[in-house]
A and B are shown apart, each in its own frame.
Chain A
Amino acid sequence: MNPSESFDAQGLSRPDPHRGHRPRWEHLALTRRQLLQRCGMGMGALALGSVLAEATGLASTPAARGDQLNRGVNPLLPKSPHFAPKAKRVVHLFMNGGPSHVDTFDPKPELARLAGKELPKTLATERKTGAALPSPFKFAKRGQSGIEVSELFTRTAEHIDDICVIRSMHADVPNHEPSLMLMNCGDARQVRPSLGSWTLYGLGTENQNLPGFIVMCPGGYPISESQNWQNGFLPGIYQGTYLDPNHTDLEKLIENIRHNHITTQDQRAQLDLLAQLNAAHRDARQAEADLEARIQSFELAFRMQLEAEDAFDVSREPEWIREEYGPGVHARQLLITRRLLERGVRFVQLWHGAGQPWDNHDDIEVNHRRLARQCDQAIGAFLADLKRRGLFEDTLVIWGGEFGRTPTVELPTPGANAGKVNGRDHNHYGFTMWLAGGGVKGGHVHGATDEFGFQAVEDNVHVHDLHATILYLLGFDHERFTYRHAGRDFRLTDVHGHVVKGILA
């Protein structure tokens, strides 16, 4: 579909994408057909397309797929997965630091009953914890489904009937770094490609004018930094492209996106000359797929300048939309995300902020309230916006942290917390994530933790299972989706993972 058309069709006013002081790009950019004609190629556009598709398509054997990375062609062109996908694109809202499930999506009234008392069973986490700490937040049934959500995510909860809450997530260890690696890359310690990189490797991306895997984190990196979106042993182009959404200057968002040294007309003249020189060079040679791919990459880059300018400029959104998302950088990055998704970007990962904002070992009430306030309205608006534009059905939205938090209060540890005894420690035994859109069951709760929320006890979903399920929604059998490296075929799920059928729509 052409998102900009549907945009206009709904009668939303849309500023002209062509800024007045720039010439009209579509008149300057060669279409591929024009390019081929101008280059006087013997090979037709269609034929070329099929050559490229063949060279980059999802080949049947891992070895063959590895080979195509050596042929000098664009490995980001769209590819088909194993079977028809439910989700075509993914947004991962990463609440880094570990949001407390018992304060957000997993109500535990038992904690109030046992407030200040020791729980019958306390599991070892990173630090010592003590008595039960009831949630300071009010829970209420939301939507038709009546799923209970705390007051922290009221706006998000307006969409609860379209959200699938998984209350039985569990991971391996109660520490940030390995848990971030597990959540993002499926392995706590070794260098492995991230979920986004796998997705890009498997599906390519719909819009060659924008990076296919974009990561935003306001103000800097989360801990473990760019490892969270690493390509591992996959080629470097599959790594996430990191942007700091606090910047408003496009140049700081995407490297080399602007031609500051010459005018657009001059650049067009340059590329015309370049195309002529390259055509002559190619015509004297053979097996020109690599040469042709590079010729095209300049035309793609030329168009990318405009596309990126447009995609990241949220000032082109109507006022009411911007108001709906609200103020602040979360609104901004979610609004940018929606603009990216409708332009065909495959995978967007949004982090709450630099470091580990949700890691509230102290003052959980104040901090969780502040953090939720920063993003709740924007998440709600984002989901509404996706629905309005018909993007919701095939966009998979993932919300969660690297783990949850203990239902017990964290005890003071010198040098580790502020000793206020009003926060929670990390908890990997049980926590909540939610999914929405892209083929998951709305208004549904999957699994449960024990009566205190310490440990997942019912329909447990390990991170590997979540990955298997996400890949399934994207059209992959996670056991067959492999990459040959260092003598063996690697998977995102290593040797683990089961598709969680219970959450599929």
Chain B
Amino acid sequence: MPPAPAFRQRRAAFHRQRGSGDQVGTTPLWRKASLLVVWLLGTMPGVFSASVPAHATEPPAQAQAAATLEQITFFETKIRPVLAQHCYRCHGPTKEWNGLRLDSRERMLKGGDLGPAVVPGAPGESLILAALSHDPELDLKMPPDQPPLDQAIVEDFKLWISQGAPWPAEPQPPADAPTDQPHWAFQPIVKPTVPTRPGQSPIDALIERQLASQGLVPAPRADKRTLIRRATFDLTGLPPTPEEIDAFLADESPDAFAKLVDRLLASPRYGEKWARYWLDVARYADTKGYVFQEERRYPYAYTYRDYVVEAFNRDVPIDRFFVEQIAADRLVKPDSGNNRALAALGFLTVGRRFLNNQHDIIDDRIDVISRGMLGLTVACARCHDHKYDPISTAEYYGWYGVLSSSFEPDDLPILDATNTSDLAQRADYERQFAEQRQRVSNRVEEIRQAKLKDLRDRAGLYFRAALDIDFNPNHNRLDATARARQLSPELLRQVADRGGRCLDAAARDETHPLAGLVALVDGLKARRCADPADAPRTLDDALAQQVPTWAGDLFADRAAITTLEQVRDRLGEAVQNLANRAETDQADEATRAAWDVLRVQPDGPFNISPDQTRAVFNRAEREEVRRLEQRIAVIQAEHPGAPARAMVLVDKPDPGDARILIRGNPGRPGDPVPRRFLSILAGPNAPPFRDGSGRLELARAIVDPANPLTARVFVNRVWAWRFGTGLVDTPSDFGMRSEPPSHPELLDFLAASFIESGWSLKTLHRAMMLTETYQRAPVHPDPKACEAADPDNRLLWRFPRRRLLFEEMRDALLAVAGRLDDTIGGKPVSIVSQPFSTRRTLYGFIDRQNLEGIYRTFDLPDPNISAARRFVTTVPQQALALMNGPFLIEQARYLAGTLDPNAPVEDRIRYLSRCVLGREPTPRELDLAVAFVTRHDESTAERDDPRGPWRYGFGALNNATYAPAIRTARFEELPHFDADASAWRLGSDYPLNGDYLMLNAQGGHVGPTRDRSAIRRWIAPTDGLFLINGVLKHSSNQGDGVRGQVVSSRLGRLGEWTVHNGEVRTRLPVVVVLKGDTLDFVVDCRDGHAFDAFEWAPVIRRMPGKLGLWDAARDFRGPQPPPADLWTQYVQVLMMSNEFHFID
């Protein structure tokens, strides 16, 4: 479905804003609305200008003079009841249509999107009066969808306004009133002086001060085993190896932990772990979201992901990191040979694409910048001034102007120093890419040539048809005309359009090669539908015309011409003659000149210039070329030699301010607003951005050390990612509605120190981790008292336990199995397809549109929206993924496979415990494990086969003819399962050497001889009486049909049926079966094997009927994994354990 034309959406959106009663009139309402806005702006300067603060108070001139009692009585009896009855439903406390409230004088004066509703003393300028009186000049009739209110009421309002709109004094609502104290987050960062004990971290001092104020004593230090696991997961997202644990335990030096932290920070695994946190904020994904037909993947999103990893590993200062993500194009010299930072711009460009709606794309970018970096919800101001924070709509559209002044170039820059490792692959990519591009342009050219030929060969027909639709490209009979004459509607449209313009040009210029035709054509056009009585005159008129010489003597046999149709025909013929002659030697000057206008000129009606070919594509051609082009996108996305490119944004050559869109409605443009930084941070007179789009200035304003938010927001994020809860609990929202920080001084201390350190994240990590607070035990000696005082552990009286993130969990499973691939970076891989990738989960392909279930199950934040934190949910689907999902089992098998089968059982258990949990098992665990892996109880003996009772194979019966003696002589299982066809087959080729043998859920196909009958086998899982039922079906009138037999391993053949182009019910009497017996459903080809596909999905019921049912179709399955042995099962238990999944 093509998206609606923009204008219609605008119109519809306008209606939505206006309420449901509006109907589409003949004049677009939005145009009226913008006229209204212009009018309002003319009369009320400054309403939309950002120089007036959002919370402008009433200008003194409009201040209310003391109202008389009489005036108040008038208001209360004549005005307020009307407002209450007719207006408040939409313009009151519950709703503010168009930002307007009419329930206080102040609000009336402030007005809504369209400006003040009331101008005291000036009824003529008061919008409310115009609306109430249904002023025909204005498309604003209130109350909506009703006849106008009584004229008397309107007169009352006029009087009231001319009195100065007196309103009784009312108590000010205390809640919204601004206080003297500015919001904490907007105050400058002040580094507190923190008294500390010798050797004590100021962080600890501040934490302990708060604890002490509650009378709490923090938990003691954690043991070293806990610490190394905590720190290693925290910094690298991976578990420590047993060797690393041993080394750390053995290191008794006082700075052992500091050395550990430094080692971990130096590991390339560190960047991979912390990048993921930032990617949550950056709503990273590898696809565009919903698109109709274009390629969905972003082929280069991964370069942004890799940029973040590298930036963290290199400890790029965070202020630099931020600026690069907004304006790297302005920092990187084009030919510097090191343009890798350009990939940073993916921060802006990897978002959702909203069917390419620019407003939504820009909104998404504003949101990710403002919440991600500033902790402000600027996007809330898209439709109205922010309800809580001092951010105006004007400021939103200031940022909007910055982003709308930027664009994504078609050819994205290739990143330096990528893919140099494999020149051959790169060359192959270049070749394939060029070939495919060539294929597209070849095909486009082919189509163009064919159309050009058509236009020349049938020029006369096209001209004639264009004449019949009056050279009107929008003629409603255009398609029908083209269809009737087997012309291309696209070409006819062009001929009509361009031909009409040629004639227009000829009408203005007597020397024009087509000048002679104009009057003739006009005559034919204008008289087309006229009274038939006019015809003779018209014909005469027509025949009187001077026709150009190239047209030959059109009317030589004048007597033969009796109708206008004949004139038209001749005109068409003349054009065809022109086409036939013009490019030959016989052509004279006039002919060449006419042909030049019609064909040679780029915009000639019979010409198609290469860049306009697509405009005359028909649907099939458009589809075909789109498919070819999609192949280019696929090569870019999939070819291993495709060079990495940066998803950049660059400045437009003509940057400019954007207009406010009233209530976010693109159909209602308001005033242009300057591109500038937020006034709450930069002051009311922040200079407008002047440098290109302004992105660089915006970025610099964000990281300006005087900006109180950026550093606070970032250190708080790091704190939250480390300690589970931020000092401010809403990491992406530091606005008025956020709770104040739990430790304000600590927040400022961290932010100030962070800036002092040169915005070094690694320094920040060290500062946080080399504290007692970080190194505390996860348990407290007196938890009851602590919980009573601080149940959520916001004060950190113990270290908060956390569960592994999804990425950590999957990576840890690979790591403990010894299989983790430590390659850094590159194109995304699927983490769900088998065989499983052993890359880190960070490199998994993220389809934001249809996110893989596993990501959702394990709490990956929605990649459509910048995420402040991860949810931690516990649902059985997670357990199912671990118990039954193939990934964990594969890792368990792998690790169990490394066991020395000759080692003593206890040693093997110790080894596994060390590998998975990093420690020796306790004596009790050892006992439990030994019992588990050596169990041989009855249930083991009774174990049912996880493959279920059905087997899919082929073979032959013995030669017996006496039914009880017939047995299956040979049975082989079909070796290959084709997942796409969902069928068991002989091999991956189908048919295999002419053999169509196969079985699927419903039936199958027999082999070419009776020795190769298709056999579906059922192995009785239990003794009993069974009913066997089914329908054998053969659906071809060719060949000789098939024969089906049921053969019991105990009782011989139980039934036999043949069927040809029909079906037969295969019901058997009750059958006695003992456990382990087989029942074979054998289908053979009879005498000829052609056309021997069949359906036969028997159902077996145990008697009495409640005890079991096996349905061949329902139970049909592909290959099942081999049963997991006891050791694999044991490893799986360890890998599922809480100890593995939680970090103390």
A-side interface residues toward B, CB under 8 Å?
Answer: 13-16, 19-23, 63, 67, 69-76, 123-124, 126, 170, 172-178, 189-191, 208-209, 211, 221, 223-227, 230-233, 235-237, 239, 241, 248-249, 251, 255-267, 269-271, 273-274, 276-278, 280-282, 284-287, 290-291, 293-295, 297-298, 300-302, 304-305, 313, 315-316, 356, 359, 411-412, 414-416, 419, 428, 455, 460, 462, 486-488, 495
CB distance from B89 to the nearest CB of A (A): 10
- For the complex of A and B, the 10 pairs showing the least CB-CB separation, nearest first, are A20-B1108, A487-B377, A21-B1021, A236-B856, A301-B879, A300-B876, A301-B876, A235-B871, A16-B1106, A173-B12
State A32–B72 Cα separation when bound (angstroms).
69
What residue of chain B has the Cβ atom nearest to residue A277's Cβ?
Answer: B1137
B-side interface residues toward A, CB under 8 Å?
Answer: 1-4, 8-9, 11-13, 15-16, 20, 23-24, 95, 289-290, 352, 354-355, 357, 360, 367, 371, 376-377, 379-380, 387-389, 476, 479, 489-490, 618-619, 622, 724-725, 730, 732-733, 735, 737-739, 778-780, 783, 787, 792, 798, 801, 803, 849-851, 853-857, 859-862, 864-865, 869, 871-881, 883-886, 889, 922, 924-925, 928-929, 932, 935, 939-940, 942-949, 1001, 1021-1022, 1024, 1102, 1105-1111, 1113-1114, 1116-1117, 1120-1124, 1129-1130, 1132-1134, 1136-1139, 1141-1142, 1144
Residues of B within 8 A of A249 (CB): 1001, 1114, 1116-1117
A274-B1133, A298-B883 known; A235-B873 Cβ under 8 A? yes
A21-B944, A286-B780 known; A273-B928 Cβ under 8 A? yes
CB distance from A306 to the nearest CB of B (A): 12
Residues of A within 8 A of B880 (CB): 255-257, 301, 304-305
A235-B871, A487-B737 known; A261-B1021 Cβ under 8 A? no
State A227–B352 Cα separation when bound (angstroms).
12
A277-B1139, A286-B779 known; A225-B884 Cβ under 8 A? no
Contact between chains at B619 and A236 (CB < 8 Å): no
Residues of A within 8 A of B367 (CB): 486
Residues of B within 8 A of A269 (CB): 932, 935, 939, 1129
What residue of chain B has the Cβ atom nearest to residue A462's Cβ?
Answer: B20
CB distance from A225 to the nearest CB of B (A): 6
A255-B880, A277-B1137, A287-B783 known; A231-B1114 Cβ under 8 A? no
A22-B944, A70-B871, A270-B1129 known; A414-B489 Cβ under 8 A? yes
What residue of chain B has the Cβ atom nearest to residue A263's Cβ?
Answer: B943
Q: Which one, B357, B873, B928, contacts A276 given CB within 8 A?
A: B928
A277-B1133, A301-B877, A462-B20 known; A175-B1001 Cβ under 8 A? no
A177-B290, A263-B943, A291-B1138 known; A258-B884 Cβ under 8 A? yes
Contact between chains at A262 and B872 (CB < 8 Å): no
State A269–B861 Cα separation when bound (angstroms).
34
Contact between chains at A73 and B874 (CB < 8 Å): yes
What residue of chain A has the Cβ atom nearest to residue B858's Cβ?
Answer: A236
A172-B16, A189-B354, A285-B779 known; A315-B1111 Cβ under 8 A? yes
Contact between chains at B1111 and A265 (CB < 8 Å): no
Which DSSP category, helix, strand, loop or mixed, fits chain A's interface?
Answer: loop
State A291–B352 Cα separation when bound (angstroms).
36
Listed by A's residue number, 7 A-B pairs whose Cβ atoms lie within 8 Å are A15-B1109, A19-B1109, A225-B850, A226-B851, A260-B884, A274-B1136, A291-B1138
CB distance from A289 to the nearest CB of B (A): 10
State A73–B388 Cα separation when bound (angstroms).
32
A72-B803, A281-B1139, A488-B377 known; A255-B853 Cβ under 8 A? yes
Residues of A within 8 A of B853 (CB): 241, 255
State A293–B889 Cα separation when bound (angstroms).
23
CB distance from B1115 to the nearest CB of A (A): 9
With A174-B4, A486-B377 already in contact, 15 other A-B pairs whose C-beta atoms are closer than 8 Å = A23-B944, A70-B724, A75-B873, A124-B8, A191-B352, A236-B871, A260-B1121, A263-B945, A270-B1132, A286-B798, A287-B801, A298-B876, A315-B1111, A414-B489, A486-B371
Residues of B within 8 A of A411 (CB): 476
A124-B24, A419-B479 known; A256-B883 Cβ under 8 A? yes
CB distance from B681 to the nearest CB of A (A): 16
A209-B876, A297-B878, A315-B1114 known; A248-B883 Cβ under 8 A? no
CB distance from A69 to the nearest CB of B (A): 5
A173-B9, A191-B862, A260-B946 known; A280-B801 Cβ under 8 A? no
What residue of chain B has the Cβ atom nearest to residue A284's Cβ?
Answer: B779
Contact between chains at B874 and A290 (CB < 8 Å): yes
What residue of chain A has the Cβ atom nearest to residue B622's Cβ?
Answer: A415
Residues of A within 8 A of B24 (CB): 123-124
Q: Which one, A67, A255, A415, contacts B885 given CB within 8 A?
A: A255
What residue of chain B has the Cβ atom nearest to residue A126's Cβ?
Answer: B4
Contact between chains at B13 and A172 (CB < 8 Å): yes
CB distance from B766 to the nearest CB of A (A): 27
Residues of A within 8 A of B11 (CB): 124
State A480–B619 Cα separation when bound (angstroms).
50
Residues of A within 8 A of B1139 (CB): 277-278, 281
CB distance from B926 to the nearest CB of A (A): 12
State A173–B8 Cα separation when bound (angstroms).
8
State A94–B561 Cα separation when bound (angstroms).
63
State A158–B388 Cα separation when bound (angstroms).
53
Contact between chains at B872 and A72 (CB < 8 Å): yes
Contact between chains at A293 and B9 (CB < 8 Å): no
Q: Which one, A67, A256, A316, contacts B884 given CB within 8 A?
A: A256
A172-B13, A232-B862, A256-B881 known; A20-B1102 Cβ under 8 A? yes
Contact between chains at A278 and B1138 (CB < 8 Å): yes
Contact between chains at A259 and B935 (CB < 8 Å): no
Contact between chains at B943 and A266 (CB < 8 Å): yes
State A178–B880 Cα separation when bound (angstroms).
36
Contact between chains at B733 and A486 (CB < 8 Å): yes
Contact between chains at A71 and B1133 (CB < 8 Å): no
Contact between chains at A487 and B1108 (CB < 8 Å): no
Contact between chains at A172 and B15 (CB < 8 Å): yes
CB distance from B451 to the nearest CB of A (A): 16
What residue of chain A has the Cβ atom nearest to residue B1022's Cβ?
Answer: A20
Contact between chains at B1121 and A287 (CB < 8 Å): no
What residue of chain A has the Cβ atom nearest to residue B1075's Cβ?
Answer: A21
What residue of chain A has the Cβ atom nearest to residue B871's Cβ?
Answer: A235
State A258–B725 Cα separation when bound (angstroms).
37
Contact between chains at A278 and B859 (CB < 8 Å): no
Residues of A within 8 A of B928 (CB): 273, 276-277
Residues of B within 8 A of A260 (CB): 884, 946-947, 1120-1121
State A269–B1128 Cα separation when bound (angstroms).
13
CB distance from A356 to the nearest CB of B (A): 7
What residue of chain B has the Cβ atom nearest to residue A298's Cβ?
Answer: B879
Residues of B within 8 A of A414 (CB): 479, 489-490, 618-619
| Residue of A20, A269, A305, A412 with most partner-chain B CB within 10 A | A20
Q: Which one, A172, A173, A262, contacts B1123 given CB within 8 A?
A: A262
A277-B928, A462-B20, A487-B388 known; A301-B1108 Cβ under 8 A? no
State A267–B872 Cα separation when bound (angstroms).
26
Contact between chains at B878 and A175 (CB < 8 Å): no
Contact between chains at B355 and A294 (CB < 8 Å): no
State A15–B1104 Cα separation when bound (angstroms).
10
CB distance from B12 to the nearest CB of A (A): 4
State A231–B798 Cα separation when bound (angstroms).
34
Contact between chains at B943 and A76 (CB < 8 Å): no
What residue of chain B has the Cβ atom nearest to residue A130's Cβ?
Answer: B476
